Amino acid sequence: MPKVTAAANTFLKKKILGATDLSDAERIPIPKGHSFYVTEYAPARNQHLYLVLAHPLTARDGKTKLQKVYAYDPHIKIEGEDLLKPIKLPVPYCSQLNNDPAIFGGGWRQCNTTSNTMLADYLLKGELTKQAQAQGYPEPESLYMRIVAKYGDTIDHGAQTEALRDLGIESYFSYSLSPKDVLQSLGLGIPVVVGFAYKGSGHICLIVGHNPMRKIWLVHDPYGSRHGASDSYDIGLGGAYDLYSYDVMQQIFWDQGGESGWGRIVTSVQGKPTGLPAGL
């Protein structure tokens, strides 16, 4: 079980706010050197970690018990980091820029379709690619986009949901994902299609990994390599396993709060439940 030790006088907090902005019932004082155990932890926003305490601790008011809390990362040290091992899913990369323009126009607007193609082809163990080749299409996106078009436009998350359902993948698009939710999906071997802030319209990519030691997320960006949180790109260059720091993710994904990420949660594949929750 992971052991947490305070490297400085600090607080465990019910919310990601400054300790002085919380009531005594919402914060637990932890002196430097004090240790306790957790059953679960995950990165959160603004240099915080989400912790589930092995045993509830009493808040500063002397009576409230808290078990799910946040800690300021620089103030604590965790032993037993193997609970969060690096994840790098072997997802084949696709670029949106060489897509067939016959259905949705230029490839520049097909990030959603391309990201969902990567998701589906990986979960179906390359079956989408095989079907595309059998029907004379040069790439899996050419087949998948024609399924999407039966239900709506490439930017329509509902149309993407129905197209994935046609392939035997049940999923839904959430607007309130936390880092813990994304990590849970990755831990089960399921990439996460996500919406990032980009210019005025946003951009869809696929999260395919995470490294807690380096504090980075691994992203398949179908448009190319993004320069940090900026709107600048090396268009069409790289894009596979791009490294997104926690700080960058805070700016472009969790910029509205700790549970504000936009992304797709897969609940079953060809009738087999994934174990991921509905209604996030």
- Is residue 54 in a domain? yes
- Within 8 A by CB and 6+ apart from 136, the residues are none
Q: How far is CA 265 from CA 85, 119, 197, 207, in A?
A: 21, 11, 19, 12
**Of 50, 65, 83, which residue sits at a domain end?**
83
Domain count, the chain: 2
Specify whether 59 is located in the same domain as 193: no
Specify whether 264 is located in the same domain as 136: yes
- Is residue 196 in a domain? yes
Specify whether 165 is located in the same domain as 261: yes
- Is residue 280 in a domain? no
Per-residue tens of pLDDT for the chain, all 280 residues: 889 999 999 999 999 888 999 999 999 999 999 999 998 888 887 788 889 999 999 999 999 999 999 999 899 998 875 656 889 999 999 999 999 999 999 888 999 999 999 999 999 999 999 999 999 999 999 999 999 999 999 999 999 999 999 999 999 999 999 888 999 999 999 999 999 999 888 999 999 999 987 889 999 999 999 999 999 999 989 999 999 998 899 889 987 555 689 999 999 999 999 999 998 8
At residue 102, the pLDDT reads 93
At residue 71, the pLDDT reads 95
- Is residue 33 in a domain? yes
**Of 83, 115, 137, which residue sits at a domain end?**
83
Enumerate the H helices of the chain as residue ranges.
Answer: 101-104, 111-123, 127-134, 140-148, 157-166, 179-187, 246-252
Specify whether 162 is located in the same domain as 58: no
Specify whether 229 is located in the same domain as 172: yes
Both tokens of 232, joined, read 């600048």
- Is residue 278 in a domain? no
Range of the domain at 48: 3-83
CB atoms within 10 A of CB 128: 24
- Is residue 279 in a domain? no
Q: For residue 91, give the CATH number of its domain.
A: 3.90.70.10
Specify whether 148 is located in the same domain as 62: no
Specify whether 119 is located in the same domain as 243: yes
Specify whether 137 is located in the same domain as 246: yes
Q: Is the pTM of this model over 0.85?
A: no
**Of 83, 114, 142, which residue sits at a domain end?**
83
Specify whether 45 is located in the same domain as 143: no
At residue 81, the pLDDT reads 57
